[in-house]
Structure 1
Amino acid sequence: MADKLYNLRDLCRALPVGWSVERVQAYYRWAKQVTDRCAGTNACLERQLQTLYQTATFECNGQVYPCLA
Protein backbone atom coordinates (compact mmCIF):
# COMPACT_ATOMS: atom_id res chain seq x y z
CA MET A 1 0.00 0.00 0.00
CA ALA A 2 2.85 2.37 0.79
CA ASP A 3 4.38 1.75 -2.63
CA LYS A 4 1.08 2.48 -4.38
CA LEU A 5 0.63 5.64 -2.30
CA TYR A 6 4.09 6.85 -3.29
CA ASN A 7 3.53 6.03 -6.98
CA LEU A 8 0.14 7.74 -7.05
CA ARG A 9 1.46 10.87 -5.38
CA ASP A 10 4.33 10.92 -7.84
CA LEU A 11 1.86 10.91 -10.76
CA CYS A 12 0.27 14.04 -9.30
CA ARG A 13 3.65 15.77 -9.34
CA ALA A 14 4.86 14.78 -12.80
CA LEU A 15 3.50 12.59 -15.57
CA PRO A 16 5.77 10.03 -17.18
CA VAL A 17 6.71 10.96 -20.73
CA GLY A 18 4.04 9.87 -23.16
CA TRP A 19 1.29 9.27 -20.58
CA SER A 20 -2.14 10.56 -21.52
CA VAL A 21 -4.95 11.73 -19.26
CA GLU A 22 -6.71 8.42 -19.88
CA ARG A 23 -3.65 6.40 -18.93
CA VAL A 24 -3.19 8.26 -15.62
CA GLN A 25 -6.85 7.83 -14.74
CA ALA A 26 -6.76 4.14 -15.72
CA TYR A 27 -3.71 3.65 -13.49
CA TYR A 28 -5.57 5.30 -10.60
CA ARG A 29 -8.61 3.05 -11.13
CA TRP A 30 -6.39 -0.04 -11.21
CA ALA A 31 -4.43 1.08 -8.13
CA LYS A 32 -7.68 1.63 -6.23
CA GLN A 33 -8.80 -1.90 -7.06
CA VAL A 34 -5.46 -3.22 -5.77
CA THR A 35 -5.44 -1.19 -2.56
CA ASP A 36 -9.13 -1.88 -1.88
CA ARG A 37 -8.21 -5.57 -1.69
CA CYS A 38 -5.76 -4.72 1.09
CA ALA A 39 -8.46 -3.13 3.26
CA GLY A 40 -8.02 -3.75 6.95
CA THR A 41 -4.24 -4.09 6.89
CA ASN A 42 -3.10 -0.53 7.68
CA ALA A 43 -5.63 2.11 8.72
CA CYS A 44 -3.18 5.00 8.36
CA LEU A 45 -2.26 4.16 4.76
CA GLU A 46 -5.89 3.45 3.92
CA ARG A 47 -6.94 6.92 5.12
CA GLN A 48 -4.19 8.56 3.08
CA LEU A 49 -5.15 6.58 -0.01
CA GLN A 50 -8.85 7.42 0.41
CA THR A 51 -8.02 11.11 0.66
CA LEU A 52 -5.83 10.88 -2.42
CA TYR A 53 -8.51 9.03 -4.40
CA GLN A 54 -11.07 11.68 -3.47
CA THR A 55 -9.01 14.83 -4.01
CA ALA A 56 -5.96 14.22 -6.19
CA THR A 57 -5.52 16.09 -9.45
CA PHE A 58 -2.82 16.29 -12.09
CA GLU A 59 -1.92 18.66 -14.88
CA CYS A 60 -1.60 17.69 -18.52
CA ASN A 61 -1.07 20.20 -21.31
CA GLY A 62 -2.07 23.10 -19.08
CA GLN A 63 -5.36 21.50 -17.97
CA VAL A 64 -6.08 20.11 -14.50
CA TYR A 65 -7.83 16.73 -14.25
CA PRO A 66 -9.05 14.57 -11.38
CA CYS A 67 -6.85 11.52 -10.95
CA LEU A 68 -9.74 9.23 -10.32
CA ALA A 69 -12.53 9.73 -12.82
Structure 2
Amino acid sequence: MTIQDSIEPTLQLKFHTERLSRTIQSCRDIHLLKEIALELVKINEQKTAIANWATLRAVELEKARKINN
Protein backbone atom coordinates (compact mmCIF):
# COMPACT_ATOMS: atom_id res chain seq x y z
CA MET A 1 0.00 0.00 0.00
CA THR A 2 1.35 3.41 -0.94
CA ILE A 3 0.76 6.64 0.95
CA GLN A 4 -1.63 7.78 -1.78
CA ASP A 5 -3.69 4.58 -1.41
CA SER A 6 -4.26 5.26 2.27
CA ILE A 7 -5.66 8.72 1.46
CA GLU A 8 -8.33 7.38 -0.90
CA PRO A 9 -11.82 7.36 0.66
CA THR A 10 -13.42 4.00 1.37
CA LEU A 11 -16.40 2.82 -0.64
CA GLN A 12 -18.61 3.40 2.41
CA LEU A 13 -17.40 7.01 2.63
CA LYS A 14 -17.99 7.51 -1.08
CA PHE A 15 -21.60 6.32 -0.69
CA HIS A 16 -22.10 8.60 2.32
CA THR A 17 -20.70 11.55 0.36
CA GLU A 18 -22.96 10.79 -2.60
CA ARG A 19 -26.02 10.58 -0.33
CA LEU A 20 -25.17 13.91 1.32
CA SER A 21 -24.55 15.50 -2.09
CA ARG A 22 -27.96 14.36 -3.31
CA THR A 23 -29.61 15.66 -0.14
CA ILE A 24 -28.00 19.06 -0.67
CA GLN A 25 -28.91 19.12 -4.38
CA SER A 26 -32.58 18.36 -3.72
CA CYS A 27 -32.94 20.67 -0.70
CA ARG A 28 -35.05 23.78 -1.16
CA ASP A 29 -34.75 25.00 2.44
CA ILE A 30 -32.08 27.72 2.58
CA HIS A 31 -31.88 27.52 6.39
CA LEU A 32 -31.17 23.79 6.26
CA LEU A 33 -28.53 24.36 3.60
CA LYS A 34 -26.90 27.00 5.80
CA GLU A 35 -26.86 24.58 8.75
CA ILE A 36 -25.27 21.88 6.59
CA ALA A 37 -22.68 24.33 5.28
CA LEU A 38 -21.75 25.51 8.77
CA GLU A 39 -21.39 21.92 10.00
CA LEU A 40 -19.17 21.13 7.04
CA VAL A 41 -17.00 24.16 7.81
CA LYS A 42 -16.59 22.93 11.41
CA ILE A 43 -15.75 19.41 10.26
CA ASN A 44 -13.20 20.75 7.79
CA GLU A 45 -11.59 22.84 10.52
CA GLN A 46 -11.33 19.78 12.78
CA LYS A 47 -9.87 17.61 10.02
CA THR A 48 -7.33 20.29 9.17
CA ALA A 49 -6.31 20.57 12.82
CA ILE A 50 -5.92 16.78 13.03
CA ALA A 51 -3.83 16.70 9.85
CA ASN A 52 -1.61 19.51 11.14
CA TRP A 53 -1.17 17.76 14.48
CA ALA A 54 -0.28 14.47 12.78
CA THR A 55 2.22 16.22 10.51
CA LEU A 56 3.91 17.91 13.46
CA ARG A 57 4.13 14.62 15.35
CA ALA A 58 5.62 12.89 12.30
CA VAL A 59 8.26 15.61 12.00
CA GLU A 60 9.07 15.31 15.70
CA LEU A 61 9.38 11.53 15.39
CA GLU A 62 11.67 11.86 12.38
CA LYS A 63 13.88 14.34 14.26
CA ALA A 64 14.01 12.01 17.27
CA ARG A 65 15.04 9.08 15.03
CA LYS A 66 17.86 11.11 13.51
CA ILE A 67 19.11 12.12 16.96
CA ASN A 68 19.00 8.50 18.22
CA ASN A 69 20.84 7.11 15.19
Q: Fold conserved (TM > 0.5)?
A: no
Is the helix fraction higher in 1 or 2? 2
TM-score range, shorter chain: 0.3 to 0.5
Q: TM-score with structure 1 length normalisation?
A: 0.32
Q: TM-score with structure 2 length normalisation?
A: 0.32
Structure with greater contact order relative to length (CA < 8 Å, sep ≥ 6): 1
Larger Rg: 2
